[in-house]
Amino acid sequence: MTPLKIPKSAHEAIQALIRLSAGDFSALLEALTRAEPALDTDKFWTHVAPHAKQLDGALIQSILREVFEMAEVRTSEEVDDFAEAIAEAASEARSEGFPFDENDRKTLKDRLVKIFEGSGGLEITMKAAGVVADQDHLFLQGRVLTDIRPVFDREGKSVDAAVIVHNLRIHYAESADDKDFYVALDTGDLRSLRAALDRAEKKAECLQILLKNSVVPYLDPKE
Lowest mean pLDDT: which of 1-15, 77-91, 208-222? 208-222
Contacts of 31 (CB under 8 A, 6+ apart): 48, 49, 51, 52, 55, 60
Mean residue pLDDT across the chain? 90
- Looking at residue 68, its pLDDT comes to 92
Please, what is the end-to-end C-alpha distance for the chain in angstroms? Answer: 35
Q: For the whole prediction, is pTM greater than 0.75?
A: no
- Looking at residue 1, its pLDDT comes to 56
pLDDT band at 76 (very low <50, low <70, confident <90, very high): low
- What is the average per-residue pLDDT within 30-44? 92
8 Å CB contact between 122 and 47: no
